[in-house]
Chains A and B, each alone.
Chain A
Amino acid sequence: MNTSTAVALNKQVAATRRKRFSVTKAIVFLVLGILFVTQVYPLLWLLLYSLKSNEEILSGSFFALPHSPQWANYSAALEGNYFRYLLNSIFVTSVTMIAVIILSSLCAYAISRFRWRFGGAVMVVFLIGMMIPMQATLLPLMIIFKNMHILNTHLSIILPYVAFSMPIAIFILSGFMKTIPHEIEESAVVDGAGIGRIFSSIILPISVPPVMTVCILTFINIWNEYILAATFISSEKLKTLPFGVNSFVSQYSVNYGAIGAFLVLGALPVIIIYFLLADKITQGMVAGAVKG
């Protein structure tokens, strides 16, 4: 008898709770919905904007769909050097990624597995460097590169990109490599494998997951980098995408639709990749933030 009243009471409590929750729930979804609009609508607005004619844009109908999509905006944008910028960005980003992965996995391996006195000290050097902002090296690097006569080449941006991507890469990779069981290397040594062989055919293949994280972090950071490229590069045919987009947009001050189109094209590659790899990218960025 006691139990049945308890059950009835519980049911009542559950019912009121459900009722209260439905009101709370409505408010919660309203808040989350508003946030969704503020985060995504500006991008959607840009897409609409890029398909409108100047008259439509100036008329103040910011919510309306374009009457007839103005593809001419996109052809105007493509007449700029969009594909040249895109190729430059692909080249610079992939060279940087490859260099970062090779160099920092070698270094991370030495730090996490070799028996030597300065492993900890080398790690500290990289950790201190993590706190130094890239902007602070902008001026001195410019002078150094000018004296080395590599200013206004892709090398002048790839070198700093590689250097500033290394600390986080080494941190992530050495953290992972510490967890690899020692027996694997011991048996490889017994089988007569040299250190280079162990690294290239055992350690690297095991380390694919953290290498992917490093790839994602490096890609997002380098693909989007603007100020270094804008400072060190001056010739039109070497510009990377963000720099190219910015100079195109600043020049085209009256053709609003074409500006919108170029911005959409500038955002497109990274958005496509995000649609394909959203989970991997968010996980990688969290891992990067957590370990940084």
Chain B
Amino acid sequence: MNVLKVSRWTIAAFVLPCLIIYIGIVFVPILVSMYSGMLDWNGIGESTFVGLANFKKLLFHDSVFWPSVRRTLMFAVFSMAEIPIALLVAILLKRYVRKPNFLVSSYFLPVILSVVVVGQLWKTIYNPASMGGMLNQILDAVGLHSWGKAWLTDPSVAMYSLYFVALWQYLGYHTLIQFTGISNVPDDVYEAARIDGAEGFKADWHITFPLIVPIFKISIVLAFIGSLQAFDMIMVMTGGGPAHATDVISTHMYNMSFTSMKYGYGSSIAAFLVVLCLAATFCINFIFNKLEKRYS
């Protein structure tokens, strides 16, 4: 119950500075991009209103667009596939390691690094052996020279190399979240389970899983947001190339607007991205509301 009665002016002074900046920077641009998505415009000169032509072209006549949507979704799927691994690691840490803090903090280290450092580091690791790339040098050293690849310039593997870097960077984050979730399950619950004959992974299946369903939701939302942030990483590492092989929705948007100077078309992609995000958040919330109802 909020009790403080204050004048309108006081409320305005407390809320407006924040709200104005927020609406001006987040919501106004979205509306602007919905509108400029209907323009044929290079961002500088004259613009002509073309209605929904950009969206039509995007959905039906753009050979790069749907593959880029698929890659964006695959990014989310791969990030979510990491969650069970992180959960297993968290369970092992909780059960077998007496002082897990050191390991947890070490696993977490890549999370706090800038995407530029991570991207450039892995670019160096993926380099050909003749340019000092560690991965290919290791393969050479163990006699698997034929497995060596141009990891970022071969269109058939470039995207998987990028998925892997994202998984590498965020494994620690998911592990930490699951670990915190497990640590918050009170010990006497496991005590009671042991008396009833459930121990080890059996106890995890019947107790840990249901109790940390809300934590899964956090991880999944995080994986989804993380897969959108892959944008920065891809811009640093490949820029969407070779030949669009690593384009995701946002790199396609960026390249269309800033490289090809099709500002109106880029805006229509941005509008699509916003709709996709809102829809995905809605779906995730819907599914988890059902799950939480079933388990509570």
Contact = CB atoms under 8 A, between A and B. Distances in A.
Contacts of B221: 292
Interface string B34-54: 001000000100000000000
Contacts of B81: none
B129 interface: yes
Interface string A122-165: 10011001011101111111011000000000000001101110
Nearest to A161: B25
Interface stretch (A4-12, A35-43, A67-75): A35-43
Interface string B87-127: 00100110011000101111111111111110011101100
Contact of A132 (B21, B109, B277): B277
Interface stretch (A76-84, A206-214, A276-284): A276-284
A39 B172 contact: yes
Contacts of A110: 11, 14-15
Given A122-B19, A126-B22, A274 B3 contact: no
B235 A227 contact: yes
B14 A242 contact: no
Contacts of B120: 245-246, 249, 259, 263
A154 to B, nearest CB: 15
Given A115-B5, A274-B109, A141 B25 contact: yes
A140 B267 contact: yes
Instruction: Give the one of B29, B218, B253 with max A CB within 10 A.
Output: B29
Interface residues of A, number: 92
B21 A103 contact: yes
B173 interface: yes
A35 B132 contact: no
Interface stretch (B61-69, B135-143, B286-294): B135-143
A224 B103 contact: no
B243 interface: no
Interface string A10-50: 00000000000000110011011001101110110110010
A144 B121 contact: no
Interface of A: 24-25, 28-29, 31-32, 35-36, 38-40, 42-43, 45-46, 49, 57-58, 60, 62, 103-104, 106-107, 109-116, 119, 122, 125-126, 129, 131-133, 135-141, 143-144, 159-160, 162-164, 166-167, 170, 182, 185-186, 195, 220, 223-224, 226-227, 230-231, 241-243, 245-246, 249, 256, 259-260, 263, 266-267, 270-271, 274, 278-279, 281-282, 285-286, 289-290, 292
